[in-house]
Structure 1
Amino acid sequence: MARRADSQLDRLLGLEYYGLDGAGTGGKLRSSLDDFIVREISIDGEVASPECKYAEGAGEFTWLVLEKRKIDTVSAARAVARFFGLKLRDVGIAGLKDTSAVTYQFISIPGEVKMESIEEFNLSHKRVKLHCPFRRPFALKPGMLYGNFFNVKVRGAECLECLEALLRELKEKKAVPNYYGYQRFGTVRPVTHVVGRMILLGEFKEAVEELIYKVFPGESQVSRRARLFLSESGDPLKALELFPKSLKSERAVLRHLARHPGDYVGALRAVSPYVKKLFIGAYQAYLFNKLLSKRIERGLSYYYPVPGDTVGIFREKRGGEVTGVLKVNDANVEKVKRWIDEGFAVLLLPVFGYNSNLSHGVVGEIERELLREEGIDVSMFRVKQIPEASSAGTYRYASLVPHALNVRVFGNDYELTFVLNKGAYATTLLRELVKPVEPARQGF
């Protein structure tokens, strides 16, 4: 039987098992900002870096390297758009990067950008910098990346011998479960997926209350006081004076309720389009994690398929985009396993949406069992009252395979460098090694 998760938060987010059975090293991430560095790898293999080793190129779009420190990607892109007089949608990004980290990624904006403008921007922003302008004939779009290169330090490890054993186990098993990581939900206020489920169930009042009232121990005193005042007074207009400006979604909901009392659908629609998608996306991520956990609980592999599963097929060995999907049956299952070993296929699990078709066999039984337990039907992902939050669904790799993994130990700390394909979370791999009991306090 697989090793069960050590933390209560893990179980709350559907991360119920580990792929690696060995004891964790313990320790903490992000003791300083420079302990967690992310560099985006473009679709053609270029690594985002301020060293500017890119061909100058030509075209109507300027690509740049965006460096950000302790700020989310959308806010950083918004700062760029504001400075250059653009709309946010004009700033092309391939993927979102960690907030509590130093990250480098490519962005694109229309037209020519002069070095004087870049220098002026960099002088006026502390947490966001621009580097290395070069021209391309097209804009960046979401998903237009290969993956990310990570450089992460774990401080204060309690069992370095455990690290060696875990790395041997990883080499033998080849992969770990490709759970959605903590940042998909939040470690301080893990309510995003709960709000998403309530929206699907049509429980809009409950969804709003979960978002604005619920208090968690790890929140700032300012946020806690604001939420408590709101729950006691029921006055959204006065509560607005107390809610920090950083809580943009809560403030948008309160402003709407102050003008339209009782309009909970309208209040949810008042938050940004990105956040509305995030609510549903977080619940989809939770369902994926639960599905993966149920699979492990049944003793099924998260690396190799069984009849009823779906696999993705690569055009080229070990990499690139999945160019097709194939249903696994009794006749082809052994052949598909060989393809996976050779790097031409990967096991996929559904991220449920209104277009999802449930599987057959034991795999389908697990999917239906999960949806019954949650009281959800895939048709509910077409949200009639908030159509912009609807989601058709997709597939996601069931296993996470780190590439170019290197480890260096110094004292009671260790440093890892590795590459992950797009969509995979570094914290998912690090969770397997550290096995945090208190993820939020340990930097996850």
Structure 2
Amino acid sequence: MSEQRYLTAHLPGCGGVIKQSPDDFIVTEIPAYEPCGSGEHLYLTIEKRGLTTLEAIRLIARSLSLPEREIGYAGMKDSVGVTRQTISVPRIRPEEVAGLSLKGVQLISALRHTNKLKLGHLKGNRFNLVVRSVNEGALAAASAILKVLVERGVPNRFGYQRYGVQGNSHLIGAAMLRGDWKGAVDLLMGDPQLLRDDQWRSAIQAYQRGDVAEALRLLPRHCDCERSVLQRLVSRPGAWEKAFGAVHPRLRKLYLSAYQSSLFDRVVEERLDRIDRVMEGDLAWKHVNGACFLVEDQEQEQPRAERFEISPSGPMFGTKMMQPQGEPRNMEERILAEEGLTLDSFGAQSGVAMEGQRRALRVPLGNPSCSQEGSSLCLEFFLPKGSYATSVLREITKNF
């Protein structure tokens, strides 16, 4: 990926350290609607610490003897920090969860509703964040940066947290699309230098030496995905595509999605200096409903962008993605060509077909505030669903 720049490069950052403790990163999901009080689904508002959304769901499913697939959720949250979000469970009475006590999960409320909660059924997220050990003048610096972000928008990057623990999920997806199955397996096994676990590191080193059987023997028990891949390689050496076929479809889709995200981030970088301006040929994003339309007259539409009614959109590449025209299309086609791909490359030959969609290149920053307590900066703001607080934090700290 190209080197990232800052929309607020003309302003100094406040420095500091983020996510030093769970309470430094508090996320509150803002629902699209409130439960009506009746129906077969029970909406559980939970507060989780040190768990991803899927890990919390797994714990709750086991506790209530439910299949995980029957539990609904509106947004995916990672394990860092404290998150308050809502999930739905079917055929469970409120009194059955009254005493729910799970490590890392606290029940806040339980109310009935008529339908299962679906991914995307939320307005966005409210963030309460602390940046510690900031530079002198941090409050003034942060306030000036927030002012620019309110006026011009927050670059809608995915950023590093989208690319996995080893930062290479998107590279696995790229290898899948190119049919480079050995490359995909190599990347899946990872870089031993990035691991602290001695046994795990030794397993990867054995794999890199070509000793697949020894790698399988050394691999820690929790590495289920890698284990399944190596087992296939032991029985069929060199059958790289068959081996990678052991990866769960959900993970395969995640890798491809990460690659889509990395290409979108490239478009954000290329258009960063004019991220608040639409161009002729753009597919403009309507913030009120997420619909897109073709910009045929830039002068006519730009006032709507200045009122933050619309924004330029970028590609989450896929076989059915709407394409812009003119200069925006040329840019997107060039990026694909540089990768040696076309939209058809995102079809089923990789194992998971990706239809694609458009995504706003910027998003509005809602009700931001900041204050300082000693050497710590306290931030609060709202972002619409699908956007990341790190996009705001990187502008403010200038540390990553």
Q: Are the aligned partners of 2:149 and 2:365 in contact in 1 as well (CA < 8 Å)? A: no
1:357 shift after superposition: 4.4
What is the SS of the residue equivalent to 1:348? Answer: strand
Give per-residue Cα distances to partners, 1:231-286, cap 9 Å, x unaligned: 235224x4344333443432332233334433322332322222111110000000
Of 156, 166, 183, 1:178 maps to 156
TM-score (norm 1): 0.84
Of 260, 263, 266, 2:239 maps to 263
Q: Are the aligned partners of 1:65 and 1:133 in contact in 2 as well (CA < 8 Å)? A: yes
Shift in CA distance, 163/221, structure 1 to aligned 2, threshold 3 Å: farther
1:40 shift after superposition: 0.6
Separation in structure 2 between the aligned mates of residue 34 and residue 192 of structure 1, nearest angstrom: 28
What is the SS of the residue equivalent to 1:210? Answer: helix
Separation in structure 2 between the aligned mates of residue 146 and residue 239 of structure 1, nearest angstrom: 46
Q: Counterpart in 2 of 1:251?
A: 227
Q: Are the aligned partners of 1:156 and 1:412 in contact in 2 as well (CA < 8 Å)? A: yes
TM-score (norm 2): 0.92
1:184 shift after superposition: 0.6
Q: Counterpart in 1 of 2:26?
A: 37
Q: Counterpart in 2 of 1:99?
A: 79
Separation in structure 2 between the aligned mates of residue 26 and residue 246 of structure 1, nearest angstrom: 36
Is residue 229 of structure 1 aligned with residue 206 of structure 2?
yes
1:181 shift after superposition: 2.5
Is residue 325 of structure 1 aligned with residue 305 of structure 2?
no
Give the partner amino acid of 1:162: A
1:356 shift after superposition: 2.6
1:312 shift after superposition: 2.4
Give per-residue Cα distances to partners, 1:71-121, cap 9 Å, x unaligned: 1111211222222222221010111012111111110011123435442x4
More deviation, 348-357/202-211: 348-357
Q: Counterpart in 2 of 1:3?
A: none
Q: For residues 159-308 of structure 1, what are the structure 2 equivalents within 5 Å? A: 159=136, 160=138, 161-171=140-150, 173-186=151-164, 188-217=165-194, 219-232=196-209, 234-236=211-213, 238-296=214-272, 299=273, 301-308=274-281
What is the SS of the residue equivalent to 1:384? Answer: helix
Q: What stretches of structure 2 of length at least 5 have no aligned partner?
A: none
Separation in structure 2 between the aligned mates of residue 24 and residue 216 of structure 1, nearest angstrom: 31
What percent of counterpart residues are identical? 32
1:343 shift after superposition: 4.1
Of 357, 366, 370, 1:394 maps to 357
Of 114, 119, 127, 2:104 maps to 127
Q: Are the aligned partners of 1:20 and 1:176 in contact in 2 as well (CA < 8 Å)? A: no
Shift in CA distance, 167/142, structure 1 to aligned 2, threshold 3 Å: closer
Q: Are the aligned partners of 1:146 and 1:421 in contact in 2 as well (CA < 8 Å)? A: yes
Separation in structure 1 between the aligned mates of residue 232 and residue 389 of structure 2, nearest angstrom: 37
Q: Are the aligned partners of 2:94 and 2:111 in contact in 1 as well (CA < 8 Å)? A: no
Q: Are the aligned partners of 1:268 and 1:276 in contact in 2 as well (CA < 8 Å)? A: no
Q: Counterpart in 1 of 2:46?
A: 66
Q: What stretches of structure 1 of length at least 5 have no aligned partner?
A: 1-11, 47-54, 438-444
Give per-residue Cα distances to partners, 1:298-353, cap 9 Å, x unaligned: x5x21221001011235xxxx4x32x3210013xx233222233343232111111
Separation in structure 1 between the aligned mates of residue 220 and residue 45 of structure 2, nearest angstrom: 31
- Over aligned residue pairs, what C-alpha RMSD do you find? 2.1
